[in-house]
Every structure is written in C-alpha cells, then in structure tokens.
Structure 1
Amino acid sequence: MSALPAPERTFGMRRETLGMWLGVLGVAFFAVTLPMTRMATGTQAAPQLSPWFVTFGRAALAGALSILFLLATRAPRLERHQLKPLGMAVLGNAIGYPLLLGYALRVVTASHAAVVTALLPLATAAIAAWVLHQRARLGFWVCAVVGSLLVVAFSLLRAYQQGHGFGFEWADLLLVGAVLAASVGYIYGAQVTPELGAERVICWVCVIALPVTLPGAWLTWPQHAVAFSAWVGLVYVGVFSMWIGFFAWYRGLAMGGALRVSQTQLLQPFLSILAAVPLLGEPLDVVTLGFALAVVATVLIGKKLSQGPR
C-alpha cells in the first residue's frame, strides 16, 4: 500500500492532535466532577443533596438542556441503526456508571473506589479495539498497562497514607461493572459521532434517558434546607460533567481515535486533585506531581506507538 500524499498525511496528523486536545479538555471537565460532587452531596457530618438526587438530577438537567439544543439546531430524527449505539451509551454513561458507583460507595471509601476506576482508560482502549476493530502496536498496550499500573499504585499509596488500606470487597465487582459501563458508553457514543456530531450524540443520550432520570429526580428531591454551594455543585455536574464535557470528549474520540484518546483519562485522578486544592482546600504534595508527570509520559509515548500495523 502506498503512503498517503503529504498534504493528506499532515491533515490527518493535525486532526489526530486536535482530537487528543479535545479529549484532554473533556477529561478536565470530568475531573472537576469529583470536588463538585463533594460540594453537592456534602459529608456525613454535614450532608447536603442526596447522592441519588445528584445522580438523577444532573442527567435530568442535561436532558432539559439537550431538548433545547436539539430544537434550536433543528436536529433530524434519529435513524433506526443509530438507536442501538445511543441506547448503549444511555445504559453506560447516564444510568449504569453512576448507579453502580453509587451502590459501591455505600460500602467502600472513595479512595478505595479510585483504585479500581483508575482502570477506565485501559478498559476503554480494550473495548475500542474490540468494538471498533482498532489495532495498535504492542508498545501501545505496554504503555497503557504501565500507565494504569502507575495510577493504581498512586491510588493505593494515597489510600494507605490516609489509613484506609485496600482489600477485596464485593463492592469491587460493582466498581468493575461501573468501569465497563462507562467504557461501553464512551465507545458506542463515539461510534455514531461522525454521523450525528458530538453535541447531538450526548444530547440524544440525555433525552433518551429522561423517562428514567426525570422521575428519579422528582422522587429524590431534597426535603430539607440545602446550602447554596451544593446547588452550585449540582449545576456544574449537570451542565459540564454530563453535557458540555461530552461535547469535547465524543468529538475527541472520533477525531483522534477512541483507542488513543481514551488514554488521556489517565490524567483524570490528578486533575481532580488539582481542582480540589482551590475548591476544597486539600493539600498538594510532591508525590502527586511526580506520579502525574510519569502518567503524562506514558500517554505521550503511547500516542506515538498507537498507530496500528499496516
């Protein structure tokens, strides 16, 4: 097979680079979800909004915004072949992931959960290779595994530093299910992005989920006074985490390749920690920065090795 002409090759490289940056932007939006969710739900000592209300409420808010967006842009009706991937994205991103995560967090700590959910990038890449038939060199998979192990090691270290420890719990199965659900949602959403566009994909996902999320939000509406900061947290996770963030994320997966762009998720735990410094007043240490730099290195190296064999 002959090589592509220089202009086409350059355009392809620029498109992949833009896809990577859009993926990073999406991950940055998602990373702030953790401290904002903490603001929304509060703590056991000072509870605010119910975690169930946050789960349903954010999706319902995104669904309402999605209806306005689809009407304003005069979105065409969905084709029959688009229903399956959108339905899978609903099950994975709008319902499966938050519900399984919510159940698991009733049993294990957030630090414990971070250890398992840190495997999301590797799971997304694996499902991309399976569902979308994307191929990569062995070096890419080595970088993906090394990066995931770095994130797991970092999460373990932080858990031990905080005195939580780490041991297998039945809730770990729920966390693994949450990881798989999110990965499936990401990949199937990216599958129809070239046809619908990133914005319409997440909008249709949120609208299709409304028959579940709207009644759920109504039934779990808070019955007590809630701090203003908690509502700010809910608005953020509804507008940015569940909606605008996916605009960048789905488009990045489609432009840069789901297998490659998925590895930017390795940055998410560290971006969450950085966001927690100004929002929650949590400290930032040298160990965190060291692990973050190591993970960035695996992502960059993995990107260079991601081109499949020809």
Structure 2
Amino acid sequence: MSDTINLSGEVSDKRANGWINGLIGVLIFSGSLPATRVAVMEFDPVFLTVARATIAGLLGLALLLLFREKRPTRGQIIPLSVVAFGVVVGFPLLTAMALQYVTSAHSIVFLGLLPLATAVFGVLRGGERPRLAFWVFSILGSLLVVGFAVSRGLTASPKGDVLMLLAIVACGLGYAEGARLSKVLGGWQVISWALVLSLPTMAALTLYNLPASFRGISVPAWISLAYVSLFSMLIGFVFWYHGLAQGGIAAVGQLQLLQPFFGLALAATLLHESVSIGMLGVTVAVIFCVAGARKFSK
C-alpha cells in the first residue's frame, strides 16, 4: 500500500513540476513575438531567422561539448530533424515574415491555436489519448481565438494571417516531437542537438544574407536579436520540453493559452501597440479553458 501511495505521489510531483517548467517556458516565449517585431523592423526576416539559429546553435554546441553529451543514435536523427524544421527554422521564419504584415499584438492572438496543434501532434506522435472533454475545452479556446481574428477581418492582411497559421502548425509539430525525444535525451539536449544539426546550413545562410553594413541598427533591435537567439531559441526550450515530457504534451501544452495574455501585455508596454478590449476579452476567455483542458487531459 505504501509503495502505491509513494508511486502516486511521485507521479503527482512529476506532473506538478511539469506544469511549473512549462509555465516558465511560456513566460520566456511570450517575449518572442514582440522581440521579433522590433528586430524585423531593421533586420531582414531571413537574416534574422538564420542568425538567431546560428547564435543559439553555437551556444548549444558549446553546452554539448562542455558536458560531453553522447551523440544521438541513428534512429533519433530524423526526429531531431523534425524538431529543427519546426522550431529552429519553420516557426521563426514564418513569424518573422508574418510580422512584416501584421502587428505583434495581432500575431499573438494566433498563438491561441498552438495548444490545439500541439495536442493533435501529441496524439499523432506521442501516443497520448486525452479524454473527450479535453478536446472540447481545447477546441473552444481555439475557436474563441479564430472567431476574434475573423471579426477583426482576416482580409486585412491575408498573407500575414496565412503565414501565422503555417507557423503554428510547424511549431506544434516541433513541440510534440521534441517532447517525445526529451523523455530519452533530456530537454536541453534535444533543442541543442536540433540546433547543432541545422548549424552548418544556418551559419552558411547567415554569411550569405549578411547585410552590407550594420550601421544604423538601433540598440533595441540588437537586444531583440539577442533575446530571440538566447531565450527564444535555447533557454525557453530547456524548460518547455522538460515540462512537456514530465506533465504530458497535450496537458502542459494548454499553458500556451496563457501566452497571448503575457504577449499582449508586453506588446502594449514595450511597443506601445494598441490592445483592444476585444483582444483582452478573448485572452481571458481562453485562459479559463486551460483549467478545463487540464482537468480532463488524462
């Protein structure tokens, strides 16, 4: 009996730690789109994407060498490549391109779709089977976000909105695949190896897309580049993948519904972008969906 109680307690503690790590990851990621918005105003989006991946890749390589981590097995290379495609290249590039057409406040609203995308890929790639009520809450939160976007008029910038939707799909796939690998390799090891795999290509593209001059680049733009390189591409994933692996991809993934709230606050505070009552209303509504989805995730 005592063994059963201890086992139950360990599982409960593991899930609780998963939610804590996941929340830290979400807080870090919340600054990504506002920072990208600042950086893309002065850096070419392609250069920004490959430069941030190169910087993070060099840091990841240094960590792997420092701690003398074993190389991934042959069977782990393809999954790591999927992670690299989704979160190292796909999401950063697509969002950087989208932010040329939409504000960061508008793009952040689309992040409400990310928990659903992550959960779907968690089922397809991670073998998770959340209860029906979980999907009701998850879909409800996503519909609230999509409904708000439609009410604002998707035709205002169809290119930006399509790019954001593609970014969400790529990111959800990368999150789920990375979380599955984290159970074997570890959280920081997964993102580090994914960055290292893409490093030769990203470094070459960085040199190819190098601007003729960096004169005129403002301090906020450089700070934003540093943030998306260090925190968005590396540190955030250390907590995020660890949290997904501990608490479950579909369950902890619902914490992403909080990301629009934090992101909108940053956009209003740092970028002085207008945040309407409708935006806040949708954000608050989808936050309430987290509790319901969490309760029925197992």
Whether TM exceeds 0.5 here: the answer is: yes
Residues 1:273 and 2:272 are matched in the alignment: no
> Structure 1 residues 104 and 276 mapped into 2: Cα distance closer, same or farther (>3 Å)?
closer
> Structure 1 residues 11 and 86 mapped into 2: Cα distance closer, same or farther (>3 Å)?
same
Q: 3-state DSSP class of the match of 1:232?
A: helix
- Most deviating of 273-282 and 167-176: 167-176
Say whether the 8 Å CA contact 2:27–2:259 is kept in structure 1: yes
Which residue is equivalent to 2:138? 144
Which residue is equivalent to 2:252? 261
Q: 3-state DSSP class of the match of 1:147?
A: helix
- Separation in structure 2 between the aligned mates of residue 115 and residue 295 of structure 1, nearest angstrom: 10
Say whether the 8 Å CA contact 1:63–1:210 is kept in structure 2: yes
Residues 1:235 and 2:226 are matched in the alignment: yes
Residues 1:166 and 2:154 are matched in the alignment: yes
- Separation in structure 1 between the aligned mates of residue 164 and residue 48 of structure 2, nearest angstrom: 19
Which residue is equivalent to 2:168? 179
How many angstroms does 1:123 deviate by?
1.1
- Separation in structure 1 between the aligned mates of residue 110 and residue 84 of structure 2, nearest angstrom: 22
> Structure 1 residues 288 and 174 mapped into 2: Cα distance closer, same or farther (>3 Å)?
closer
- Most deviating of 19-28 and 220-229: 220-229
Residues 1:97 and 2:97 are matched in the alignment: no
Percent identity, aligned pairs only, is 38
TM-score under structure 2 length normalisation: 0.89
Paired residue type of 1:14: D
How many angstroms does 1:282 deviate by?
3.5
- Note the aligned Cα RMSD (angstroms): 2.4
> Structure 1 residues 291 and 103 mapped into 2: Cα distance closer, same or farther (>3 Å)?
closer
- Separation in structure 2 between the aligned mates of residue 171 and residue 274 of structure 1, nearest angstrom: 21
> Structure 1 residues 37 and 106 mapped into 2: Cα distance closer, same or farther (>3 Å)?
closer
Going by fraction, where is helix more abundant, 1 or 2?
Answer: 2
- Separation in structure 2 between the aligned mates of residue 117 and residue 303 of structure 1, nearest angstrom: 18
Say whether the 8 Å CA contact 1:190–1:250 is kept in structure 2: yes
- Separation in structure 1 between the aligned mates of residue 255 and residue 145 of structure 2, nearest angstrom: 12
Q: 3-state DSSP class of the match of 1:76?
A: coil
Which residue is equivalent to 1:11? 10
- Separation in structure 2 between the aligned mates of residue 268 and residue 166 of structure 1, nearest angstrom: 21
Which residue is equivalent to 1:131? 125
- Separation in structure 1 between the aligned mates of residue 164 and residue 284 of structure 2, nearest angstrom: 26
- Separation in structure 2 between the aligned mates of residue 58 and residue 132 of structure 1, nearest angstrom: 28
Say whether the 8 Å CA contact 1:114–1:155 is kept in structure 2: no
How many angstroms does 1:289 deviate by?
4.2
Say whether the 8 Å CA contact 1:85–1:191 is kept in structure 2: no
How many angstroms does 1:296 deviate by?
2.0
> Structure 1 residues 287 and 116 mapped into 2: Cα distance closer, same or farther (>3 Å)?
closer
How many angstroms does 1:62 deviate by?
0.3
Unaligned runs of 5+ in 2: none
Deviations 1:41-82 (A, max 9, x none): 22xxxxx22222211111111001111111111111221121
Which residue is equivalent to 2:39? 40
**How many pairs are equivalent?**
294
- Separation in structure 1 between the aligned mates of residue 94 and residue 280 of structure 2, nearest angstrom: 30
TM-score under structure 1 length normalisation: 0.86
Map residues 240-255 of structure 1 onto 2, 5 A cutoff: 240-255=231-246
Paired residue type of 1:201: V
Say whether the 8 Å CA contact 1:111–1:155 is kept in structure 2: no
How many angstroms does 1:98 deviate by?
2.7
